[in-house]
């Protein structure tokens, strides 16, 4: 085993890559000498996309898990709060470190931060958070793809991904450890009130939790397409928050599930959709705040604060929508099919700007990802470069029985739990404590189509 006595330390700048295995920045730094692992909480960097409450809860536990893993190697995680480039530069001065290693990130604020760091420090960026580096899957003419299907076809040709790297065998400490904040002092966890009880029941953040979640999914991967749309069945992988925080890489997931057979290719395409979302935000950095289709700038969205609040609280009178919104509030997550139904309801039944939904999901989802969140909302709203047509309006009262959501509704809307299935999805007379529909489906559909027609005429 090579000795690194007297070698110059390197910084590993952790962000959304909070793992030891298949972490190219960490592996490279460890091979060269002492390692200083650093996480900087820079709330000013992302401005209106600073991490929401659910993400901050997850981050606290993920950082604690990473620090515990590093300590097994005699290392530790250095925490700083403030400007990324200022703190990284300060740590270099304090320790004599001459290089910062990090994984590529594609959110606009992280790309800005990388440029700022590279102006004064030697920054070495590595790949590893996606199946392929964003911006490298190109058309025959050398242009980035805008539409998912041809993007996925091209990406699929490059699969399987590069084999994942093992965790380092050793992490040499630096001669001088820089000062670190205490994680508890960051106040990432809710206290008054503590609304995270459901989060603690549902999730185990950290690398070990991610691997356990993958182990659980492997045996179900072959039936992914048959089960993923059934809210009452554990059909999805629930790996999304672990992937977002980089506690596991897609290259680690791919070989475990790719040979499962059955409908696992549908799951693999969902990993591809995650890559596609990064490809989109590289082309359109403001995708989370601006319509990709300019015509929709003329759509007359409604300023409906009571409607928005009813949607946020799961009090719309549409059981499948309300179940999803309550699951989101309780656990920080929502079933994939129900996300589409709830998003469509906000945009088309209530005719509320998709950006209101994007902001709410950003604050309440533990897997709130800038690329995926923006791409999915613009797909639903019909405003995206690749999107569903606005005039295709989901009917929640039809979707609910179609995807056998009765058990799901009973769990999250207990006011309706006593109703038989034929009444549960659309109670004609709402039982005590449950609201009447805030808008009738037919009237909402007609209003949305009229707004779309008016947009085309303006």
- Asked whether 102 and 126 are in contact (CB, 8 A), the reply is yes
Give the separation between CA 62 and CA 76, rounded to whole angstroms: 14
Q: What does residue 128 show for φ and ψ, rounded to 5 degrees? A: 150, -5
What is the chain's length?
A: 458
Of 95, 103, 100, 99, nearest in space to 19 by CA: 103
Q: What does residue 298 show for φ and ψ, rounded to 5 degrees? A: -95, -5
Give the separation between CA 143 and CA 302, rounded to whole angstroms: 37
Q: What does residue 311 show for φ and ψ, rounded to 5 degrees? A: -65, -45
Give the separation between CA 301 and CA 95, rounded to whole angstroms: 54
Strand order in the sheet with 99-103: 77-81, 35-41, 10-14, 99-103, 123-126
Element containing residue 229 per DSSP (H, E): none
- Asked whether 268 and 225 are in contact (CB, 8 A), the reply is no
- Asked whether 298 and 397 are in contact (CB, 8 A), the reply is no
Q: Taking the C-alpha atoms of 305, 306, 312 and 317 in order, what is their torsion angle to the nearest 10 degrees?
A: -150
CA 321, 324, 326, 328 torsion: positive or negative? negative
Catalytic residues: 270, 273, 301, 336, 354, 377
């Amino acid at each position: 085993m090579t000795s690194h006595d007297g070698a110059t330390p390197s910084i590993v700048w952790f962000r959304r890559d909070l793992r030891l295995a298949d972490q190219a920045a960490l592996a490279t730094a460890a091979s060269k000498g002492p390692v200083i692992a650093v996480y900087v909480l820079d709330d000013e960097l992302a401005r209106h996309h600073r991490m929401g409450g659910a993400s901050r809860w997850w981050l606290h536990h993920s950082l604690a898990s990473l620090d515990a893993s590093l300590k097994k190697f005699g290392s530790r995680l250095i925490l700083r709060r403030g400007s990324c480039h200022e703190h990284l530069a300060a740590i270099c001065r304090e320790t004599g470190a001459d290089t910062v290693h990090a994984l590529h990130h594609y959110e606009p604020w992280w790309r800005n931060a990388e440029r700022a760091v590279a102006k004064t420090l030697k920054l070495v960026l590595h790949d590893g958070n996606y199946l392929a580096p964003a911006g490298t899957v190109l058309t025959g003419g050398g242009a980035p793809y805008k539409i998912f299907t041809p993007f996925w076809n091209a990406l699929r040709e490059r699969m399987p991904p590069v084999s994942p790297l093992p965790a380092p065998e050793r992490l040499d400490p630096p001669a001088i450890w820089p000062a670190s904040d205490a994680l508890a002092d960051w106040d990432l966890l809710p206290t008054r009130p503590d609304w995270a009880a459901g989060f603690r029941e549902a999730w185990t953040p950290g690398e070990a939790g991610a691997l356990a979640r993958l182990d659980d999914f492997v045996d179900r991967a072959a039936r992914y397409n048959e089960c993923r749309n059934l809210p009452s069945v554990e059909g999805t992988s629930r790996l999304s928050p672990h992937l977002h925080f980089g506690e596991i890489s897609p290259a680690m997931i791919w070989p475990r599930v790719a040979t499962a057979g059955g409908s696992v290719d549908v799951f693999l395409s969902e990993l591809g959709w995650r890559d596609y979302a990064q490809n989109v935000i590289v082309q359109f950095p403001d995708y989370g705040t601006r319509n990709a289709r300019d015509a929709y700038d003329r759509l007359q969205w409604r300023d409906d604060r009571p409607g928005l609040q009813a949607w946020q609280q799961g009090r719309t009178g549409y059981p499948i929508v309300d179940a999803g919104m309550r699951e989101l509030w309780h656990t920080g997550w929502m079933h994939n099919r129900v996300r589409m139904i709830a998003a469509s309801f906000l945009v088309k039944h209530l005719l509320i700007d998709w950006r209101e939904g994007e902001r709410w999901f950003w604050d309440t989802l533990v897997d709130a990802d800038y690329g995926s969140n923006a791409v999915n909302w613009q797909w639903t709203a019909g405003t995206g470069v690749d999107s569903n047509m606005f005039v295709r309006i989901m009917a929640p009262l039809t979707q609910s029985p179609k995807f056998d959501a009765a058990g799901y509704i009973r769990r999250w809307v207990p006011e309706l739990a006593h109703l038989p299935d034929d009444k549960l999805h659309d109670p004609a007379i709402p039982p005590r404590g449950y609201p009447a529909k805030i808008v009738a489906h037919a009237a909402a559909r007609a209003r949305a189509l009229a707004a779309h027609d008016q947009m085309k005429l303006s």
